[in-house]
Amino acid sequence: MRVTQCELLIVGAGPAGLSAAAVAAALGVDTLLLDEQQAPGGQIYRAITTTPVTDKRILGEDYWHGASLLEPFKASGARHEPGATVWSISRMTAPDPEEGFEVGYSVGGEARLLHARHILLATGAQERPFPIPGWTLPGVVTAGAAQILLKSAGLVPGERTVLAGCGPLLYLIAWQYLNAGVKIDRILETTPPGRLQKALPHVFDFLRSPYFGKGMKLVREVKAAIPIVKGVKGLKALGQDKLESVQYTVDGRTEMMAADQLMLHQGVVPNVNLSRAAGVEHDWNPAMDCWQPKVDAWGATSLPGIGIAGDGAGIAGARAAEYRGLLAALNAACVLGHIDAARRDQDARPYWKALERAVRGRAFFDALYKAPDEYRRPTGDTIVCRCEEVTADQVRQTVALGCSGPNQMKAFLRCGMGPCQGRFCGLTVSELIAEERGVPVPEIGYYRLRFPTKPLTLGELASLPQTEDSRQAVIRMKKRGGA
């Protein structure tokens, strides 16, 4: 068992993690980047070094921008450990808590420990759960998962494909498939009528943003090629053992169409499992209906020594993530004593400006593509927790038994206790309890998440070292903690 040391640990090799690692290492910070994937890029630039989709027009220039992040990262001297899953961040039980964190992670089924003085979480976003009747049927996938297959393996969906939901990614993926020569039979847009009016106050920024020109072109091309149904309600996936058809209601009419594949997407939300388990404070973002860690402008959290950069600190997109990574890295270098505050502030200046440009126009999207209530707070026997097959009605009825929050719900129905550790149901369960109790979501809170945040085998755990030194340190800490 080896215990690796580093000054700065960065978790996640998406745009935030890559740019942060590059700038930190270039400033002399001993930097280690751990990433779950075999190749850098994160989800947005997934397989950027390895994709078989070599025709650059298919995935588009925004995807290929990711390649430009790799050169500075490689040149910086930052260490990179691919295929590494972080499952714990300990401070109080670390052999020497004053010296920083002890991080547990696994590579290829082998558990390892490392010591880091500072941690930057760059774990990005995940797709918002989209609980509709039948969403657990084979053939129903998230649009993000389908996009990953396209990027990493060049795989495209089956015969009759329907894309449903809302958000900019919906059109992007349709456009990418279009470029790859794949026909999507229909796009079902769930954005309710009237949303555009709500988004209008933000339209001026949107018109001045880079999204405008590119976005308009993309939407135009998609609209020319694929039939689009707007204001879709009552979306259902139907089938015996797999998806056979998609049913929906539009203007009071119920329609049904045969389908082999239904790709669902209603936006992305911060991936909060690591930050929550680490004990970072989170806020409810009412504009985007999701939790996000409390961070300052540098990405510093409520916990000394832990920063967050990129979409994991609140959704702002890939280009913003890049600059947020750079800013968080400058701050880490400052905290670790490699540069002073004056140098940090000076170096940060161009990044602030770039960040401001990168997020311009996002408020328009956020308002326009807010996920509709119907698809965030399901009813009846629609499954909410996929792992434990808990339905919306079960959650709603259990509130009446005295289960007043998500943790009590967990103990009662086991929702959130399966292998996804709440990633697919956490938001839904909090919102359902809030609705049943008639109180705001922040009052309900979220699942209390604990390490290990990713499953590991008992054999891996058994291979962890327990030196006499560490044992003594632990006893010392317990005495101190228990006093």
Binding site for other proteins (CB under 8 A): 88, 90-93, 104, 279, 401-405, 408, 411-412, 414, 417-419, 421, 450-452, 455-459, 461-466, 470-471, 474, 477-478, 481-482
Residue (215 or 422) nearer to other proteins, CB:
422
Residue (212 or 451) nearer to other proteins, CB:
451
Pair 430, 444: CB distance under 8 Å: yes
Q: Smallest gap, in angstroms, from Cβ of residue 483 to other proteins?
A: 9
Q: Smallest gap, in angstroms, from Cβ of residue 154 to other proteins?
A: 31
Which stretches of 135-184 are assigned E, i.e. beta strand?
140-142, 161-166
Q: Smallest gap, in angstroms, from Cβ of residue 6 to other proteins?
A: 18
- Determine the Cα–Cα distance for residues 87 and 466; give it in Å rounded to an integer: 18
As beta bridge partners, residue 118 has 8
At 374, list the tokens: 């119907």
Residue (258 or 464) nearer to other proteins, CB:
464
Helix or strand (DSSP H, E) at 323: helix 318-335
The CA-CA-CA angle for residues 45, 48, 53, to 5°, reads: 110
Q: Smallest gap, in angstroms, from Cβ of residue 88 to other proteins?
A: 6
β-strands 306-308, 383-385 pairing: unpaired
Residue (52 or 465) nearer to other proteins, CB:
465
- Determine the Cα–Cα distance for residues 315 and 307; give it in Å rounded to an integer: 16
Nearest to 79 by CA among 14, 6, 1: 6
Question: What DSSP assignment string belongs to 28-82?
Answer: T--EEEE-SSSSSSTTTTTTTTT-S---HHHH-HHHHGGGGGHHHHHHHT-EEET
Residue (42 or 418) nearer to other proteins, CB:
418
Q: Smallest gap, in angstroms, from Cβ of residue 383 to other proteins?
A: 17
Helix or strand (DSSP H, E) at 261: strand 261-266
Q: Smallest gap, in angstroms, from Cβ of residue 396 to other proteins?
A: 17
Residue (180 or 473) nearer to other proteins, CB:
473
Pair 319, 356: CB distance under 8 Å: no
Pair 106, 456: CB distance under 8 Å: yes
Angle between helices 406-413 and 392-400 (to 10 degrees): 110
For residue 121, the 8-state DSSP code is E
- Determine the Cα–Cα distance for residues 317 and 311; give it in Å rounded to an integer: 6
Q: Smallest gap, in angstroms, from Cβ of residue 133 to other proteins?
A: 25
Q: Smallest gap, in angstroms, from Cβ of residue 136 to other proteins?
A: 17
Residue (104 or 168) nearer to other proteins, CB:
104
Residue (342 or 458) nearer to other proteins, CB:
458
Q: Smallest gap, in angstroms, from Cβ of residue 452 to other proteins?
A: 6
Residue (55 or 468) nearer to other proteins, CB:
468
As beta bridge partners, residue 290 has 285
